[in-house]
Amino acid sequence: MPREALSAAAILNFVMLACSASLFSVPVMAPEIAADLGLSTNYVGVYSGLLWTCALLTSYGSGPLIARFGPMGVSQLCLLWCALGLFVAALGTWPAFVLASMFIGLAHGVETPASSQLLARLTPAPQQPLVFSLKQTGVQLGGMLSGVLFPFLLLRFGWRGALLAMAVAMLLSAWALQTARRRFDRDFHAAHASIPAKPMTQALRAVWVDPNLFRITIAALAYVGAQVCFNAFLVSYLVHERGLSLAVAGSVLTVGQFGGLLGRVIWGAISGRILPATVLLIALGTVMTAGFALLGGIGHHLPLLLLYLVCFVVGLTVSGWNGVFLAEIARLAPRNEVGRITGASFVISGTGLVVGPLIFSALAGASSAAMAYMLCAASTLAGVACLAWRRSA
């Protein structure tokens, strides 16, 4: 495997870890923030919905940003946007949280297209599922870090101090990335200097008319909606409906994220070598469905150790499929259009990140979070049906 590809994947993994930590900051501390400000934890759904709406808008414009700043330059922008969002969130007013969700969303919308463009150029096709999956483990590492770090910081500095500390770490990380930008973006600009810019509408049309791209993108929409709800609401669900402490609930989230970390590596190694990507994604979706049904159906009554196990299995699948998906998009897309096609696919599939938390919040408020997790099971089952239809077609 090329050393340059592994080096770039490691750097981009760190960027994703940092961005993921900023994403989890408010949901992990939501019970404490809500109690301090007199709000309901169901507002996490509104926060997540706004965040991913902004992510979709940025993803739509990812092509020009990547062409202008290069993949590593865009990664620096992502860290700066996250830092700004955390600084603003520490103000603790509802307009501040709206702005914070927008800034953090901007970062998450363009980070994946930029990294996909660079890794697709550096990595031979047979190794792409594993390299993409290794890079994507930054999401789980960031989630695991958040589940442990933010409760620790909260006890010592309060939730505002925890947000400010993470913001400073983001700024330092953006500065440290300058060396990598000089290393990788110089070759990127040289390789793409003669490629004419194309509007994003062409990339959206390419996803729409290609049956393979379209069906895997629609399946990803179903999977990713369930994924964001599992991550964003698990702590609040376990605190308010299961009666666990914030620290224990955070540790359950950490176990789920650890499952996702292992899953991304394992599924990346399997995809294309032992199982075709579509077959693997169908199998993962089937396990997701069973896990969400258990979590929503009897999660209130499961012994704690069994609850850890269920959340580990759910994390193994619902947070472990993304690298396989991104590598399959890179395989199907024209080589010089990987970033643009990835961004276009995210514009479609990412609507699950917006709609999922809003529907979850509404159902949790009207009924319970347990019932909302049963809806997640229905969503992942729909994704399985979409992929199975793709294979039979």
Give 77-108 pLDDT, tens digit per residue: 999 999 999 999 999 888 898 899 999 999 98
Q: Return the pLDDT at 393.
A: 43
Q: Return the pLDDT at 46.
A: 79
Nearest of 190, 214, 137 to residue 393 by alpha carbon: 214
Q: Return the pLDDT at 192.
A: 52
Average pLDDT along the chain: 85
Measured at the alpha carbon of residue 131, what is the angle toward residues 379 and 284, in degrees to the nearest 5? 25
Q: What is the pLDDT of residues 31-67, one digit of tens each?
A: 888 888 877 766 777 787 788 888 888 877 777 788 7
% of the chain beyond a pLDDT of 70: 94
126 CB neighbour count, 10 Å cutoff:
10
Question: Is residue 162's pLDDT more than 80?
Answer: yes
Q: Taking the model in full, what pTM does it have?
A: 0.74
Question: Is residue 236's pLDDT more than 90?
Answer: no
Nearest of 142, 91, 170, 85 to residue 257 by alpha carbon: 142
Q: Return the pLDDT at 392.
A: 46
28 contact partners, CB below 8 Å, separation of at least 6 = 146, 147, 150, 151, 235, 250, 253
Mark 156-190 as b/e (b = at least 16 C-beta within 10 Å): eebbbebbbbbbebbbebbeebeebbeebbeebee
Q: Return the pLDDT at 313.
A: 95
Q: What is the pLDDT of residues 188-200, one digit of tens each?
A: 655 554 444 555 6
338-349 vs 322-332: helix axis angle to the nearest 10?
130
Highest mean pLDDT pick, 174-178, 187-191, 208-212: 174-178
DSSP 196: P
Q: Which two tokens stand for residue 30?
A: 């939501």
% of the chain beyond a pLDDT of 90: 28
Read off the pLDDT of each residue in 337-347 and give the average, rounded to a whole number.
79
Nearest of 54, 52, 350 to residue 207 by alpha carbon: 350
Q: What is the pLDDT of residues 113-152, one digit of tens each?
A: 888 888 888 888 778 788 888 887 887 788 778 878 888 8
Q: How many CA atoms lie within 13 A of 355 on its CB side?
A: 14
Which residue type sits at 18?
Answer: A
Read off the pLDDT of each residue in 248-258 and give the average, rounded to a whole number.
87
Q: Return the pLDDT at 42.
A: 67
Residue owning tokens 């069906």: 215
Q: Return the pLDDT at 195.
A: 45
Helix runs in the chain, H state only: 3-28, 30-37, 43-60, 62-89, 94-122, 128-176, 178-192, 200-209, 211-240, 246-270, 277-298, 304-318, 322-332, 338-349, 351-366, 369-392
DSSP 276: -
Question: Is residue 158's pLDDT more than 80?
Answer: yes
Read off the pLDDT of each residue in 14-19 and give the average, rounded to a whole number.
91
303 contact partners, CB below 8 Å, separation of at least 6 = none
